Amino acid sequence: MPIHKKIIYYGSLVLLSIGLAGISSNLLGQSNRGTPPGHVTKNGVDLDIRSHGRVMADEVAQNGNTVPADPAGPVPFVLLEPQIQLRGDNIQTNDPSLDNIQIFPGFRPFVDFTQSETSIAASGQNIVATYNSSANQPIIPNPVGPGLIFIHRFLSAFSTSRDGGRTWTSGFFPPVSGSIFTFGDPVVATDRLGNFFFSNLGADAEGKATIQVNKSTDGGNTWSDAVVVQQDDGSDKDWMAVGPDPFQHSQDNVYVTWTSFQTSGAQLRLGRSADGGATWTTKIVFAPSADPDPTHPQNSLQNTNPFVDPITGRLYIPFLHFSNADQDFFQILISDDAGETFSFATFNVPGAPDPTLLPLVQPGELTDCRSGGFRLAIHSGPNAGGRFGLRSFVHSSRTSTQPAFAARNGILYLAWAQSTSPSFGDPNGNSNVMFIRSDDGGATWTSPVQVNPGVPADIQHVFPSLTIDTDPQDVHVAYYTQHADGTVDVDMANSHDRGNSFPADRTVRVSSVPSALAPTNIKLTSTTSTNYDRLIVACYNLGEYLGVTSANGSVYTFWGDGRNPVTEPVNALDPLSGQTHPQQDVFFQKVKAQ
């Protein structure tokens, strides 16, 4: 175990805390030396870049399905299922009856009320919406020893509509045969025959971490057991794409990409199936090395977003490549032979270390999430005081920078969120969504345009997701907007000139009500904190992306927000005892945006 990393066992989670050896007292001058897998040094700060699913997989590797004890404090066992009232015109897709509160003697309550991190796909009237969910994760007293155990931990959930989004049914994806774990990072896609495919993080029957895929042949009503793409103990942040083989256009290939955190650095890995997800071939596509210049790309990458051009079958893999300084970079790998060989798109940005690099400064303030690590985040409420001069906020939602991408017939569309400040993690920085297009397959690009309207009261714009219509003029970008009062909405910007402009009068407010951030970073000690939903890591609120897709002449948007409340049980061990606060549900909206 690296000397500057220590594991803190608190409740059901194995929580990561960064010790004094991990960063200097003034947060400056540290190199990548000793940075553990899943972390990157940014201006001397040991930044945790693991997804929630990766953190859960690490927890299971340490604890299995056991729940370590809390400090003693007897309370009676109670199982509550509060009724959640839908507000506004959006359609809540998750089943609220699955949310539950579990209380055991000697433990803080388990308030299992988080649904977020969304992906959506459609085929005809069949729509599948996928998300992370902490609901319905039953815990029981350990029958063979002290403490508690999970019966199962299924974080990967779905809702299916067979009538174009009017009504929904919910469920949880089957794990690998013999396993009791799925870890989320949900992504759903569909082929031309109407089959749905779902990729996520999980574990096999022996508890070893996997990249895995489920398939539905009946419109998302039922799902196969997960098939292992690859067993990979360092796996994180999978993404999926389905599209025609470049040589046999009648055949659809299924591709899954992910980050594999290794001691030598992060690797970009690819899985490909040519038989509808039954069998897979895998390979390492890109494994960058460290660079002595901290402003250059390092051996750390994350957030791949593969896409298959539906006309040509060309495979694109955009991803985020980290430096150790303020600016990070996007790169795009391109394959014309179904992933056998790759080349890079070129951006040719003046001053960039390499022509294949698109520089950006990630959005969000660098905050102390204590048990959730040092994270970029949006937040609301007062500063609760963090370590090493950083600020810390009870109401926090960590940010993640993923390229939003689409392509058709050699025209490429790319959107992303970036800070208005040149300094990484600047507390005074806001953020906007930017867009560029390439008309020649990634050789040259248009100048960046701002997607979101410039509204002074809107301070942050994060987690963009992009879709294009069959009409090549139409480009749609959905994203979260945080207002100056701390509340959050979902907006969608629409272009009818291939992304040359996104007029303010064509921007649609998708969420029918603004919502507040939940209390996700409640301080317990100087180094530890808890999410109100203790099955979820600290500072995890909105998730790490939202979903948007075009189908049937409409745009389908799917996201998580905190419009619905939950009231905590009165409990001496609960730091929120008796309080009512936001919790996360997931919502769908069909938008006519042509």
User: Looking at residue 471, what is its pLDDT?
Assistant: 85
* Cα–Cα dist 541/573, whole Å: 22
> Where does residue 74 rank: exposed (0-12), middle (13-18), buried (19+ CB within 10 A)?
exposed
Mean pLDDT, residues 383-410 taken together: 97
Whether the CB-CB separation of 245 and 275 falls below 8 Å is answered with no
Q: What is the pLDDT of residues 330-353, one digit of tens each?
A: 999 999 999 999 999 999 999 999
For residue 29, what pLDDT is reported? 31
pLDDT at 34: 64
Residue 221: exposed, middle, or buried by beta-carbon count in 10 A (0-12, 13-18, 19+)?
Answer: middle
Closest CA to 56 of 19, 18, 17, 15: 15
Please enumerate, as own/partner, the contacts of 20-26 that have beta carbons within 8 Å and a separation of 24 or more.
22/46, 23/374, 23/388, 25/388, 26/389
Mean pLDDT of 297-325: 98
The proportion of the chain whose per-residue pLDDT surpasses 70, expressed as a percent, equals 90
Judge whether residue 455 has pLDDT over 80: yes
| Contact criterion met (CB below 8 Å) for 546 and 558 | yes
pLDDT of residue 68: 66
pLDDT score for 23: 30
| CB 134, CB 112: distance < 8 Å | yes
Please state whether beta strands 358-360 and 365-368 pair in parallel, antiparallel, or not at all (unpaired): unpaired
Contact present, 303 and 403 (Cβ < 8 Å): yes
pLDDT at residue number 66 = 83
Residue 305 domain boundaries: 5-591
* pLDDT at res. 553: 87
Residue 216 is encoded by which pair of tokens?
Answer: 């539905």
Q: pLDDT tens digits for 61-92?
A: 888 888 766 644 333 333 333 332 323 489 99
Question: For residue range 254-285, what is the model confidence (pLDDT) as tens digits?
Answer: 999 999 999 999 999 999 999 999 999 999 99
pLDDT score of 18:
26
DSSP structural state of residue 574: -
Among 401, 329, 399, CA closest to 360? 329
Q: What is the dihedral of CA 233, 170, 520, 321, to 10 degrees?
A: 40
Write the CATH number for 431. Answer: 2.120.10.10
Report the distance separating Cα 588 and Cα 87, nearest Å.
13
Residue 434: partners with Cβ closer than 8 Å, 6 or more residues away: 415, 416, 417, 418, 448, 449, 450, 451
Residue 230 has pLDDT above 80, yes or no: yes
Non-local CB neighbours of 558 within 8 Å, separated by 6+ positions? 93, 118, 119, 120, 129, 131, 546, 547, 548, 586, 587, 588, 589
Q: Which of 199, 251, 193, 240 is nearest to 223 (CA)?
A: 199
CA nearest to 234, candidates 35, 58, 15? 58
| Residue 289 exposed, middle or buried by CB count within 10 Å (0-12, 13-18, 19+) | exposed
How far apart are alpha carbons 280 and 586 in whole angstroms? 32
Q: What is the pLDDT of residue 86?
A: 28
Q: What is the pLDDT of residues 525-574, one digit of tens each?
A: 999 999 999 999 999 999 999 999 999 889 999 999 999 999 999 999 99
DSSP 8-state code for residue 239: E
Q: Find the largest Cα–Cα distance for the chain.
A: 67
**Per-residue pLDDT tens over the stretch 136-185:** 899 999 998 888 999 999 999 999 999 999 999 999 999 999 999 999 99
Predicted confidence at residue 92, as pLDDT, reads 97
Six-digit token string for 347: 């951006």
- Number of domains comprising the chain: 1
In eight-state DSSP terms, residue 33 is T
Secondary-structure breakdown of the chain: helix, strand, coil percentages, each rounded to the nearest 5: 5, 45, 50
CA distance 91 to 481: 19
**What predicted TM-score, i.e. pTM, was given to this entire model?**
0.91
Distance between CA atoms of residues 510 and 481, nearest Å: 11
Whether 356 contacts 365, CB under 8 Å: no
CA atoms within 13 A on the CB side of 189: 23
> Are the C-beta atoms of 220 and 169 separated by less than 8 Å?
no
Give me the residues paired with residue 108 across strands.
none
Q: What is the pLDDT of residue 21?
A: 27
